[in-house]
Chain A
Amino acid sequence: MNHVTLIFIGLFVTFVGSWTGMVVAPQIQLGRQVPTGQMQPAERPPVEGDPGDIYPLARVGQAEQGHQIYRKEGCYYCHSQQVGVTQADLRWTQDGRFSVHRDYLFDQPALFGTQRLAPDLSNVGVRLPDAKWQMMHLYSPQALVEKSSMPPYRDLFERRKVDVKFGPSSKALDFSEEQRKALRLAPDEEVVPKKQATELVAYLLSLKQNVNLFEAPMYAPKTNGVAGVTNTVEAASPEAKK
């Protein structure tokens, strides 16, 4: 037998087999999922005919633009967006749950992340909802988290002289004196986020996997704050920087 033909036919069959299993079958099972009403919390018993809050909603406007900036900057090379069912992944939930397909329904592309060199961001909108902090962290991660390995994204901001006539911009980042000194910001200088920074922060704040789903019920609320606390504390409290 002509072995080239055998190889061709055999490889084609095995290729179609794995493609059917890994691409077509998941597409049949998951590809037609639609947003659904979330399971009601225990204290709010479901009311007949009430679909609850629809989840997920498609990202629109600034948040969707920010999603594309997140892709463009390659943030997914350090930050994952997938919470597994392991003990280690508990830290990324805020009384939350593991990630499921429905969480990414409208993400195009869905940026699951290739590594976890930095915190998982699946729930960053719940864990760190302060937009001002997010802005300052993007401009200078080291000013907020000591020895942070995150690079600064200064090109998303404009460093300029304060307008003499109108005074500082209302959007200017509110750094402390100590931080201004570290950043070598002159007294008459200010840092103002560009459109892209605002969009990126809008996207980060939209990242919330805190909806009770049938296929992924929320974990029981934790009072010790194990999950998510690590990142919040180091961000918010000056002691954590020591």
Chain B
Amino acid sequence: MPALSSNPTSAIPAAESAPSSGGDAAGRIALLLLTIKGLGWFVLAGLLQVLASVKMHGPLFLADFPAFSYGRLQPAATTALVYGFLTQIGLAVGLWILTRLSRSKLALAPVVIFATVLWNLAVFVGIIGILCGANTGFPWLEMPRQILAVLTLLSVVFTLSGLITISFREERELYPAAWFIVGALFSLPWVLGTATWTLLFQTVRGAVQLSVNGWFIHAFTWLWLGFLAIGALLYVVARVSRTELYSRSSAVFAFWLFAIIAGWGGLMASAPLPRWIVSVSGTANLILLVPIALIVHTLWKTSAPEAADKSEAAALRFSRLSIQSLAAYGLLSLAFYAPAKNAVLGLTLFQPGLMNVFFTGVVTLALFAGLNLMLPELLGNKERGVIKGSTLFLLLLGLAFTTLPLILGGMKQAVLWADLSKSSAEVSRGLNGFIGPATLGYIILFVASVLILVQLLGSIKTACMEFFGSKTAPASKR
């Protein structure tokens, strides 16, 4: 592998020369606040998902509480995961990487802190709204429309902070990780705002709603969450491996392919829409495999077999697993979106299984890889805040238990639905053997999320005690 060169666009700027985020208290608080709040939502999303999963095979569980019906718990869990956990951790890691790459402080840090508080309040009210039955009926946009409008406005604040931060960079050329993160920051308000306006304020009619909702979910998945994850991976892998990116041109080409294609995919072959829309979407889903393959190849070739210290070793482990998950997601999505005449995987358990691979396997692991580098730096100790290997094992165990049964169950479900001699009750009963292990997987993920939050809070407490201890020590000497 080529050694770290002076080429600023394919090599990470030397971390040692960058100012520590610790030098900027407001920036450090903003990033830590986003992280703590995000991990808090990870715990809550895990709890809601466990309850929803139990409801799938135990319908009488909490049956007298309308707020805990499956139809309310599941959208609440997804909302908590997407808007509470992934978005906030993604913002924390993404903004931190921009400060590193631009060698500057986080811009508008006090405003980011204020926006984070409001964001959490809005998501909280939105989830309460969903549990109380005020959902909009559009997957991933279930929070009341006023809340979604507020979130769109707040996302502009985060975007501005990131853009101003990167505008202070010394080299004009951008490192590929910054391409993806800046692209993600541009996309968030656009995608969220346009979909909210079109579906909930402008209210398009009929099946056009399905097309708009599909467009939103796919664009949000790739242009926001996917871009953040890939940006984090490009940064972490190159920095930890202390090398140039294997192929800068592949990464940039993949960026543009994602940007061009991502908004067109996501519709299932069976959608009640004109054939041309479904065909274009199906083609886009296939083409999307090209940038996925390019990114996986580039990252894998860049990553070193081992890292220098504990935090970097943890970051590398998380990164490599995330890259493998991205490859698995590409292959599974090929099966999911393939047009079929008989048994089709759309609307089966395969879909949540596939999303688990993306949410937990790709995005969560990629962002945690970033956290493994960010937290030790923010907390002032190379080993502080590093996610433990045992927790990673739990995350992987949870991922396996949630994903494999749902994917296999989805395949069986597709075959059972296609067998017209089977009644719908027989089909439902045939799935219980798959939903049970998936529930166990969600419980394991929930435990892992609690451990990570507790560990982080402990690290922050230790850091605070050291900080205040060092401040008071000279005073006592005086």
B174 and A149 form a contact (CB under 8 A)? no
Most A-side CB within 10 Å, residue of B271, B280, B281, B423: B423
Is B215 part of the contact surface with A, judged by Cβ < 8 Å?
Answer: yes
A109 and B424 form a contact (CB under 8 A)? no
Residues of B within 8 A of A115 (CB): 347-349, 351-352
New A-B pairs, 7, CB < 8 Å, besides A111-B137, A146-B425, A150-B59: A4-B182, A15-B191, A23-B215, A72-B135, A74-B70, A117-B428, A227-B420
Residues of B within 8 A of A141 (CB): 59
Most B-side CB within 10 Å, residue of A2, A7, A153: A7
B69's contact among A71, A73, A116, A230, by CB below 8 Å, is which?
Answer: A73
Is B72 part of the contact surface with A, judged by Cβ < 8 Å?
Answer: yes
The number of residues on chain B lying at the interface, defined by a beta carbon within 8 Å of a beta carbon of chain A, is: 90
Q: How far is the CA of A226 from the CA of B421 in the complex (A)?
A: 8
Q: How far is the CA of A12 from the CA of B340 in the complex (A)?
A: 34
A104's contact among B64, B138, B206, by CB below 8 Å, is which?
Answer: B206
The number of residues on chain A lying at the interface, defined by a beta carbon within 8 Å of a beta carbon of chain B, is: 85
B194's contact among A7, A19, A103, by CB below 8 Å, is which?
Answer: A19
Q: How far is the CA of A118 from the CA of B343 in the complex (A)?
A: 16
Is A84 part of the contact surface with B, judged by Cβ < 8 Å?
Answer: yes
Q: Would you give the 0/1 interface string for A64-106, flagging 1 where the beta carbon is closer than 8 Å to chain B?
A: 0000000111111110101111111111000000111111111
Is A17 part of the contact surface with B, judged by Cβ < 8 Å?
Answer: yes
Interface residues of B (CB under 8 A from A): 55-57, 59-60, 63-64, 66, 69-72, 74-75, 133-139, 163, 166-167, 172-174, 179, 182-183, 186-187, 190-191, 194, 198-199, 203-212, 214-215, 219, 223, 256, 259-260, 262-264, 269-274, 277, 280-281, 340-344, 346-349, 351-352, 413-414, 417-418, 420, 422-425, 428-429, 431-432
A26 and B133 form a contact (CB under 8 A)? no
A18's contact among B57, B72, B263, B432, by CB below 8 Å, is which?
Answer: B263
Residues of B within 8 A of A227 (CB): 420
Q: Is the interface of B mostly helix, strand, loop or mixed?
A: helix
A103's contact among B136, B262, B272, B413, by CB below 8 Å, is which?
Answer: B272
Q: How far is the CA of A30 from the CA of B352 in the complex (A)?
A: 30
Chain A nearest CB from B403 CB (Å) reads 16
User: Which A residues, 180 to 233, have Cβ-Cβ distances below 8 Å to chain B?
Assistant: 226-227, 230-231, 233
A27 and B63 form a contact (CB under 8 A)? no
Residues of A within 8 A of B340 (CB): 86
Q: How far is the CA of A234 from the CA of B57 in the complex (A)?
A: 20
Q: Would you give the 0/1 interface string for A97-134, flagging 1 where the beta carbon is closer than 8 Å to chain B?
A: 01111111111111111111111000000000000000
Residues of B within 8 A of A30 (CB): 205-208, 274
B271 and A73 form a contact (CB under 8 A)? no
Residues of B within 8 A of A100 (CB): 207, 272
A8 and B259 form a contact (CB under 8 A)? no
Is A22 part of the contact surface with B, judged by Cβ < 8 Å?
Answer: yes
Residues of B within 8 A of A176 (CB): none
